[in-house]
A = this chain, B = another copy of it.
Amino acid sequence: MGRRRATGRPTIADVAARAGVGAITVSRALRQPDKVSPALRKSIEEAVRELGYVPDLNARALASRRTDVVAVLVPSLTQNIFSDVLRGIYDGVEDSGLRIEITNTRYNNALEEAQLTTILRHQPAAVIVSGTEQTAVSRAMLERAGCPVVQIMDLTDDPIQKIIGFSHERAGREMTQHLIDAGYRRIGFLAGWMNLRSRQRFDGYRCALEEAGLYDPDLIGEVGNDEAVKTDDHLFSTAMMGHELMLAMLERRPDVDAIFCNNDVLALGALFACNARGVPVPDRVGIAGFNDFDYMEAAFPAMSSVRIHRWRCGYEAMMAVRDQLNGGEIGEPIVDLGFEIMKRASTDRRGELPAVRDRTILQTLS
C-alpha cells in the first residue's frame, strides 16, 4: 500500500486479514482475551502463530499512551546490594512481557529528579525507586504519575503509594544490641560515605549504645566527605577503606573492643586489618558487618552481619507492580520484610562478662 518502506514484518492488519476479522479485534484478542469470543480468539491466535506476528511496541505506546517499560531507579550499580535487588526484579519480571529500564541515580537526589522528569515523559508502566529520599518535586511527580510506584529498601509511614523494605534504624540497633549482649563495651562504628540509609543504621547504633550508657563518639571512624568519593559510587565503601579505618582506630583507640561496620566490605577490610596487626577476632575485637554478603559466612572467623532481603525486595516490588497492572489492588502499602541478625564467630566472645549482669551493672553506674 504505502509508498513508505515498511519493515516487512507482519502487522496487525495482516493478522486480521488472515483470521478474517477486524484489526481491532486482533488487538483486543491480544490484550484482553476475555473480551473476544473463544472461536475468534482461536483463529486469531493461529494467524498470529502462522505469520510470526509480534506487536510493534512503539506503535502500541504511541496509540495507547502507555508503555510496558518498568522504570527502576537505583542509587548505585556497583554495590552488591543493588545488584541483588536488580536480580530480584529481573527474576520477577519473567514472562510478564514487561521490560525494565534501569537508571543510575548515583545517590544524587537532584540528578534523580532530572532523570525522573525524562522517565515519566516516556509514560512508563510503573516506577520502582530506591528509598525515601526523593526531592519534593520528585515526590510530587511520582504522585501524579498515574502509574504504580513502589519504593524499596527502606520504610516510612508515608509512602508515595507502596513501600517494600525494612528498618535500617532497627537493624542497626539490634546488631549493636547483639554486640552489647555479647559482652563488648567499647563498640566502634566504621563507615564509608554515608547516605540516608547508612545514617539510619548509625542512628540505631547510637541509640542502642546511649540506652546502655556506652555511646562514645570518639569510637567512630568515617571517611571524610571527599568529592572523589561522592561522585564515584563504587568508591562509597571499599575493603581498603575498612582496612585503613580499622588500622587508624586501633592506633587511636587501642581499647576498642568491637566494631560495627556499616557495610560488609568495610568489615572485610577491618578483619584483614586485625589479621595484619595480630589482633585476635573475636576475643580482643569483635567485628560485625551489614548486608550479609556470602563471604561473611565463609570468612575466618565467620563474620556476624545483618542479613537483609535484597533479592526479595526487588522481587516483591516487581510482583506488586504486576498485580497492579493486572488490575489488582495495591494491597498493604507498607511491607516490612524485616532482617536477621546473623550471629557468627566474629562476635562470639565466649565466657567473658556475662552479658545481662554486666549490662545491669553498667546501667547502674551510668
Contacts and interface: CB of A to CB of B under 8 A. Distances in A.
Interface of A: 7, 9, 54, 56-59, 61-62, 65, 67, 77-80, 83-84, 86-87, 90, 99-102, 104, 118, 121-123, 233-234, 238-240, 242-243, 265, 268-269, 272-273, 275-276, 294-295, 297-300
Nearest to A295: B239
Contacts of A80: 78, 80, 83
Given A9-B121, A265-B295, 14 more contacts: A54-B121, A58-B123, A77-B87, A79-B83, A100-B102, A101-B101, A102-B102, A238-B294, A238-B295, A239-B294, A239-B298, A240-B298, A273-B300, A275-B275
A62 B56 contact: yes
A27 to B, nearest CB: 15
B65 A62 contact: no
A62 B62 CA distance: 8
A122 to B, nearest CB: 6
A239 to B, nearest CB: 4
Contacts of A123: 58
Nearest to A242: B298
Contacts of A265: 294-295
Contacts of A83: 77-80, 83
16 contacts: A54-B118, A58-B122, A58-B123, A62-B62, A77-B83, A77-B87, A78-B84, A79-B83, A83-B83, A87-B234, A90-B104, A239-B294, A240-B295, A269-B298, A272-B298, A272-B300
A238 B295 CA distance: 7
Contacts of A118: 54
Copies in the complex: 2
A61 B62 CA distance: 9
Contacts of A9: 121
A101 B104 contact: no
A296 to B, nearest CB: 8
Contacts of A79: 83
Contacts of A100: 101-102
A298 B243 contact: yes
Contact of A99 (B61, B101, B242): B101
Contacts of A239: 294-295, 297-299
Contacts of A57: 122
A62 B99 CA distance: 18
**CB-CB nearest 6 A-B residue pairs:** A239-B295, A239-B298, A58-B61, A272-B300, A275-B300, A276-B300
Nearest to A57: B122
B7 A65 contact: yes
A233 B9 CA distance: 35
A90 B78 CA distance: 11
Nearest to A90: B104
Contacts of A86: 77
Nearest to A276: B300
A2 to B, nearest CB: 12
A93 to B, nearest CB: 10
A80 B101 CA distance: 20
